[in-house]
Amino acid sequence: MKSIANSNDNKINLDLTPHFNSLDEQFILNTNKKIKKVIRASELVKIEADGSYSKFYLADRSVIMNSYNIAQHEKKITNPLLARIHKSYIINLCYVTGVTTNSPLVITLRNTEIVTASRRKEKLIRFHITKLKGINF
C-alpha cells in the first residue's frame, strides 16, 4: 500500500467547476440562538464531523460550527455533487482538483487540503467522477 505522500504519481487532475450551476441547495444553520445563516451549496467546500457537531468549511475560508451531526445534514442533501466520502466528511465535488487512481482514494480540494475516502465510499466517488467528467479510473 502506498503512503499518502507517494500517491500523487497516480493522480487525475479534475476541473468540475462547470457543474457549479447545478448546486442550488441551501443550508440554514443556527449559528447561535437568535441568528440563522443561509449557506448556498456552491459556497460549501466540505462538512466535517466534530463529535455531535458539524463544521462547515466555506470557499471564503470561513468555518461555521453547527450543533447538528453530519448524518442529519446528509439526510437533507439531494444533489450528488455533495458526497459523503467518509464517516467524517461530506465534500463538494466541484472543489475537487485531483484524485488518486489507487486505493485508498486520496482527494485534493481546491484549498490544497487532502482528504481520504473510505473504502466503502470509493465506488460511489468513482461513479460520480466518471459520470461528471467521463473519466473512467
Tens-place pLDDT, residues 48-60: 999 999 999 998 9
Distance CA 43, CA 46 (A): 9
pTM of the model: 0.77
3-state SS track over the chain: CCCHHHHHHHEEECCCHHHHHHCCCEEEEECCCCCEEEEEHHHEEEEEEECCEEEEEECCCCEEEECCCHHHHHHHCCCCCEEEEECCEEEEHHHEEEEECCCCCEEEECCCCEEECCHHHHHHHHHHHHHHHCCCC
What letters, b where the CB count within 10 A reaches 16 and e where it falls short, cover 25-63? bebebeeeeeeeeebebbbbbbbbbeeeebebbeeeeee
Tens-place pLDDT, residues 111-135: 788 999 999 999 888 888 787 777 6
Tens-place pLDDT, residues 75-101: 888 887 889 999 999 998 888 888 888
Distance CA 76, CA 108 (A): 25
How high does pLDDT run on average in the chain? 80
